[in-house]
């Protein structure tokens, strides 16, 4: 089996037997294509630890972040493990290799005012059906903290549960199912979209959100519609669907302080993934402190009296 054929066989197994999401498969495909380029004509059995270290150093020098390199190494490590189990390589050359660390960046979340400005505006698209669809999507992102792929994969059969029960069952990463609440504003927007969806949807199309052509809306188109909506709202920062997820988590945590509940709603396997939002919350508190505390304001002078 040549290198390219081995990669395709591995990706097919991830898709069919391990049921990885299309987004995850796309990442694996991209990272493993880098491996094929690095190996060139050399058999993968000859690709040793030194070659892996050389490629990691090269990609890091080209600007690939530590996080991206960690994901790449994970994909390579899993692939070589698969090859090793089949006797196609003598060892896993990625074993023990770690990616260089990158400075930890906090996710960008919109303020409550920015979020409300984004969702409450009346966009000028010329087609009320598309306006209703977009409103339903963006309200659902913010109401339930969904990932982009999770929202795009929703089918029509979840609509009744959202409208009647106020909840939606989501298939997340690693095929993990979770049940998340759907707020009243999102339910109103979904009902408005449901009333006109049939005018756009192609016969037998099961996707909840469809394009003008009547087929399931692509990830890229959802991103683009949100970007344009944010520009119309006067938000200069580039807004993407994951930012609404971050905003949902940050705002719920600020109001409730319940980290475990936010973890469940986001579908994080580890509480450590959710704890980043405690830092966002602290940033918000620190800004309030800087504006409100007499001794924090620049140029302020202590008033008369003691403590």
Q: Which of 191, 197, 226 is nearest to 210 (CA)?
A: 197
Is 245 among the residues known to form the active site?
yes
- Give me the torsion for CA of 120, 122, 128, 131, rounded to 10°: -50
* Concatenated DSSP letters of 216-236: BPPHHHHHHHHHHHHHHTT--
Q: How far apart are CA 135 and CA 179, in angstroms?
A: 22
Marked catalytic residue, from 77, 173, 185, 227: 173
Is 101 among the residues known to form the active site?
no
Marked catalytic residue, from 10, 28, 142, 277: 277
Residues in the chain: 307
Reduced to 3 states (helix: H, G, I; strand: E, B; else coil), residue 237 is coil
The number of beta carbons lying within 10 Å of the beta carbon of residue 197 is 22
Question: What helix, strand, coil percent values describe the chain, rounded to 5?
Answer: 60, 5, 35
Does the CA dihedral 296-302-303-307 come out positive or negative? positive
Q: Is residue 164 a contact partner of residue 136, using CB atoms and an 8 Å limit?
A: no
Residue 138: Cβ-neighbour burial (10 angstroms; 0-12, 13-18, 19+): buried
Is 242 among the residues known to form the active site?
yes
Is 277 among the residues known to form the active site?
yes
Q: Is residue 248 a contact partner of residue 138, using CB atoms and an 8 Å limit?
A: no
Is 301 among the residues known to form the active site?
no
In 117-223, DSSP assigns E strands to 167-171, 177-181
How crowded is the C-beta side of 295, counted as CA atoms within 13 Å?
2
Which DSSP helix (H) or strand (E) runs through 192? Answer: helix 184-200
Marked catalytic residue, from 147, 197, 225, 229: 147
Q: Distance from CA of residue 282 to its chain's centroid?
A: 22
Is 268 among the residues known to form the active site?
yes
**Active-site annotation, residues:** 147, 173, 242, 245, 268, 277
């Amino acid at each position: 089996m040549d290198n390219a054929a081995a990669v395709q066989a591995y990706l097919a197994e991830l898709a069919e037997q391990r049921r990885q999401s299309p987004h995850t498969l796309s990442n694996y495909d991209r990272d493993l294509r880098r491996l094929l380029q690095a190996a060139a004509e050399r058999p993968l059995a000859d690709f040793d630890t030194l070659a892996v270290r050389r490629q990691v150093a090269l990609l890091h020098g080209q600007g690939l972040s530590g996080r991206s390199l960690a994901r790449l190494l994970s994909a390579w490590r899993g692939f070589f493990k698969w090859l090793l189990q089949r006797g196609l390589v003598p060892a896993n050359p990625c074993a023990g290799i770690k990616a260089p660390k990158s400075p930890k960046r906090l996710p960008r979340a919109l303020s409550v005012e920015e979020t409300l400005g984004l969702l409450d505006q009346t966009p000028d698209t010329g087609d009320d059906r598309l306006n209703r669809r977009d409103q339903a999507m963006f309200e659902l992102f913010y109401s339930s903290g969904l990932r982009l792929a999770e929202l795009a994969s929703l089918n029509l059969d979840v609509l009744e549960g959202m409208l009647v029960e106020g909840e939606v069952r989501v298939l997340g990463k690693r095929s993990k199912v979770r049940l998340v609440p759907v707020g009243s504003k999102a339910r109103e927007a979904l009902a408005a979209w449901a009333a006109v969806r049939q005018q756009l949807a192609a016969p037998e199309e099961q996707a909840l959100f469809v394009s003008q052509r009547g087929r399931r809306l692509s990830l890229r188109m959802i991103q683009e519609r949100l970007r344009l909506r944010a520009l119309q709202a006067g938000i200069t920062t580039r807004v993407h669907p994951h930012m609404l997820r971050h905003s949902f988590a940050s705002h719920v945590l600020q109001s409730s302080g319940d980290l475990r509940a936010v973890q469940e709603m986001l579908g994080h396997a580890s509480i450590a993934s959710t704890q980043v939002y405690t830092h966002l919350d602290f940033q918000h508190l620190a800004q309030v402190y800087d504006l409100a505390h007499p001794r924090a304001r620049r140029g302020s002078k202590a008033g008369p009296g003691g403590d």
